């Protein structure tokens, strides 16, 4: 497959050249320099561009296609869509030019839609549609050889109405034929006479397969150069004879295109989808950009040479067209990537829903997005330390860490030694900081798994150092939370720890205890913590100690308090795309997306009558006839029992209330408002279903807890499904 794809690099590269040639045709860049040279460039060399596009389409419509008719149908649909978009794009220009003031508007409009295009260059689309259909009919009915002869006959009839029209005018029957023909289509350069032969040629080359590649590059090059020389002579002779009605259809154009296409197939290399996309966009937009450049000269006093010098106008339009094409390619690529991601997610969701009772659904792309958002918001020199304790706040532990590794994260933090070991066993690389206490007896495991340990206090440091193994550590400083760390008055002991033989202190940090509060007293306390920590560091620096990496900001410290000079931001719940609760204070808002959804299955649906009860202790009694569904998740899976009679669930995109007491393994919901509910349906307890969403903060608030606790308590029975 890779080798076959590399065979078409020449076609991709020539697409751009063909697009530039089309732009040249509509500007005539050499007109004021050399009229004959401009004619050769635009009316002879340039006339290879559109036939090339037709041949390329014909080639891929036949190349290794099991269902050519179906492929042509899809091709025609895409062309018609592009044609429709182009018509709408140029509608304002049509109005400005007085197009709709035509006396016989309907006949003119039909003729333009079917043959001429509503603007001069848009003739390509109806020509390609008709050419694709007609060539397909000829090939399927007669085979390639006879189809080519028939299409070549149509082409011969076409060039008698184009470059050789002067000859046809001398024959009364032909003159009458073309007069009637031009009442329907302004040119024979259309989908009936012009396009089919090139579609057939491209298809025939594709059908020949290996035979098409047997001609030597030298033979193709010689044939192309000879053909171009003959076509140039033909074009100049016809121009000087005055018999040309138009200048699109030459006798020698057919051999030129045959040898050119063979030559391009010899050029190998990686496929270039950007060239394919950009060339089509360039073809569509360049007339609009010609108008735009001319308008800019008038409106904004741009140099008048952009209009008076065709070569400068051509350069400006070519650059703008290419830029527009590349922009559209990037946009299309991102949309397709997102669509592929959505399709993949849907596939994984469907797979997950087969055979599972309850599961956590974790969104890779949203996690990577959150990493990017946080890193962009950090000051220069500051890095993300991803806190993945408690299974990454319930969001997948090692898998979440590996996903973030792919996004560029190189520093992680856990609460306990065993969490760090588990990450290492799951091939998580980079620095892993153990934030909690590790008994000195397990110092060997810290060394073995290359983990960095937090020094909780002076005695802890002495015990770790006494083990005789060189360990990487971060020194915790207690600035007021009074949980872990040496005291602010222990600068002497901090200096001693920094000098211990077997401790390599690579970081120093503190923790802010009320960074998520907007209460004035809490804010004042937090600012005092930051000030105390800064003074402590200043004291160490005054003693001549070279400070290691410094970190003070956890998730809400980062959102609410600037901290210049910090090496890390310790982000945990923010990476999950959630707030701890709806009551959290945030000075800075970031575009974070939820990573975790919680889903389960509907196991059973039944109807109960008035007065009947549901669940333990008969806490719910129906006041009327109700339809009840049993959902396969309970407090044994981590869904809070406190949500009994208070929570809501999404089924088929609609909210339904939790009723009765939540059981260890199941809960009940009232689905009377969703009567189509049936066993096997998916129930969403956290996350989105259709247009409705239940946010984690909402669930935590109803359970009178915080998201951190809610997520970290989601049990091991829940399968993790990454989408």
Q: Which residues form the catalytic set?
A: 389, 616
Beta bridge partners of 722: 362
Nearest one of 568, 584, 578 to 411, comparing CA atoms: 568
Q: How many CB atoms lie within 10 A of CB 115?
A: 20
Task: Please tell me the distance from the alpha carbon of residue 537 to that of residue 547, in angstroms, as a whole number.
Answer: 8
Task: Please tell me the distance from the alpha carbon of residue 342 to that of residue 334, in angstroms, as a whole number.
Answer: 12
β-pairing, 682-689 vs 596-608, is: antiparallel
Q: Looking at the chain, how many residues does it have?
A: 723
* Angle of CA points 382, 526, 582, to nearest 5°: 85
Question: Which phi and psi angles does 448 have, rounded to 5°?
Answer: -65, -40
**Residue found by looking up tokens 């008698």 in the block:** 160
Residue 507 exposed, middle or buried by CB count within 10 Å (0-12, 13-18, 19+)? buried
* Angle of CA points 708, 710, 712, to nearest 5°: 65
DSSP-derived secondary structure for 508-521: EE---SSTT---HH
Looking at residue 40, the DSSP 8-state letter turns out to be: I
Task: Check if the beta carbon of residue 278 is closer than 8 Å to that of residue 329.
Answer: yes
Task: Check if the beta carbon of residue 639 is closer than 8 Å to that of residue 685.
Answer: yes
CA distances from 512 to 453, 482, 548, 561, 712 (A): 19, 10, 19, 10, 21
Buried/exposed code over 357-385 (b: 16+ C-beta within 10 A; e: otherwise): bbbbbbbbbbbbbbbebbbeebeeebbbb
Task: Check if the beta carbon of residue 596 is closer than 8 Å to that of residue 417.
Answer: no
Looking at residue 170, the DSSP 8-state letter turns out to be: T
Task: Please tell me the distance from the alpha carbon of residue 639 to that of residue 694, in angstroms, as a whole number.
Answer: 14
How many Å from the N-terminal Cα to the C-terminal Cα in the chain? 28
């Amino acid at each position: 497959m890779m080798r076959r794809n590399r065979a078409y690099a020449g076609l991709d590269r020539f697409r751009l050249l063909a697009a530039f040639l089309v732009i040249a045709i509509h500007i005539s860049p050499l007109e004021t320099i050399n009229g004959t040279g401009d004619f050769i460039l635009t009316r002879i060399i340039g006339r290879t561009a559109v036939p090339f596009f037709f041949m390329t389409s014909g080639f891929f419509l036949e190349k290794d296609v099991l269902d050519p008719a179906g492929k042509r149908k899809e091709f025609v649909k895409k062309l018609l869509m592009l044609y429709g978009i182009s018509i709408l794009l140029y509608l304002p220009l049509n109005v400005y030019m007085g197009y709709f003031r035509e006396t016989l508007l309907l006949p003119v409009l039909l003729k333009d839609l079917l043959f001429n295009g509503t603007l001069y260059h848009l003739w390509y689309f109806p020509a390609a549609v008709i050419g694709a259909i007609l060539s397909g009919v000829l090939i399927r009915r007669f085979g390639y050889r006879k189809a080519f002869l028939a299409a070549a006959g149509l082409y011969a009839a076409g060039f008698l109405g184009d470059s050789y029209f002067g000859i046809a005018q001398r024959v009364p029957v032909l003159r009458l034929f073309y007069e009637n023909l031009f009442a329907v289509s302004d040119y024979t350069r259309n989908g009936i006479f012009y396009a089919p032969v090139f579609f057939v040629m491209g298809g025939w080359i594709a059908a020949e397969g290996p035979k098409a590649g047997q001609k030597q590059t030298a033979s193709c090059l010689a044939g192309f150069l000879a053909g171009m020389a003959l076509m140039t002579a033909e074009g100049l002779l016809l121009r000087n004879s005055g018999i040309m009605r138009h200048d699109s259809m030459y006798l020698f154009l057919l051999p030129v295109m045959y040898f050119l296409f063979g030559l391009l197939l010899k050029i190998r290399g990686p496929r270039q989808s950007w060239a394919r996309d950009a060339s089509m966009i360039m073809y569509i937009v360049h007339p609009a950009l010609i108008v735009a450049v001319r308008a800019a000269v008038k409106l904004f006093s741009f140099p008048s040479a952009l209009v008076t010098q065709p070569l400068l106008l051509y350069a400006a339009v070519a650059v703008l067209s290419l830029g527009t094409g590349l922009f559209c390619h990037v946009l299309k690529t991102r949309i397709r990537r997102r669509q592929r991601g959505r399709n993949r997610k849907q596939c994984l969701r469907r797979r997950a829903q087969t055979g599972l009772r309850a599961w956590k659904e974790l969104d890779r792309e949203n996690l990577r997005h959150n990493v990017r958002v946080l890193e962009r918001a950090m000051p220069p020199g500051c890095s993300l330390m991803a806190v993945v304790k408690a299974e990454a706040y319930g969001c997948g532990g090692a898998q979440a860490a590996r996903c973030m590794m792919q996004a560029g994260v190189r520093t992680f933090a856990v609460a306990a030694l065993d969490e760090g070991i588990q990450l290492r066993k799951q091939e998580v690389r980079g620095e892993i900081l153990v934030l909690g206490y590790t008994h000195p007896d397990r110092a060997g495991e810290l060394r073995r798994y290359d983990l960095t340990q937090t020094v909780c206090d002076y005695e802890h440091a002495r015990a770790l150092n006494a083990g005789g193994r060189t360990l990487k550590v971060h020194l915790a400083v207690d600035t007021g939370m009074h949980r872990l760390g040496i005291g602010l008055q222990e600068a002497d002991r901090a200096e001693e720890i920094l000098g211990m033989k077997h401790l390599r202190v690579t970081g120093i940090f503190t923790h802010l205890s009320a960074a998520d509060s907007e209460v004035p007293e809490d804010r004042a306390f937090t600012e005092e913590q930051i000030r105390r920590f800064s003074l402590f560091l200043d004291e160490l620096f005054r003693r001549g100690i070279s400070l290691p990496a410094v970190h003070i900001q956890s998730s809400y410290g980062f959102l609410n308090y600037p901290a210049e000079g910090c090496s890390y931001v310790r982000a945990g719940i923010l990476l999950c795309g959630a707030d701890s609760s709806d009551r959290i204070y945030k000075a800075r808002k970031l575009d974070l997306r939820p990573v975790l959804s919680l889903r389960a299955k509907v196991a059973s649906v039944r109807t109960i009558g008035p007065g009947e009860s549901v669940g333990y202790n008969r806490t719910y009694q129906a006041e009327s006839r109700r339809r009840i569904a049993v959902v396969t998740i309970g407090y044994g899976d981590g869904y809070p029992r406190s949500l009994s009679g208070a929570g809501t669930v999404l089924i088929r995109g609609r909210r339904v209330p939790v009723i009765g007491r939540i059981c260890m393994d199941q809960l009940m919901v009232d689905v009377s408002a969703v009567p189509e509910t049936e066993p096997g349906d998916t129930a969403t307890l956290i996350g989105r279903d259709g247009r409705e969403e239940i946010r984690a903060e909402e669930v935590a608030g109803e359970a009178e807890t915080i998201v951190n606790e809610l997520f970290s308590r989601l049990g091991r029975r829940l399968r993790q499904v990454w989408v």
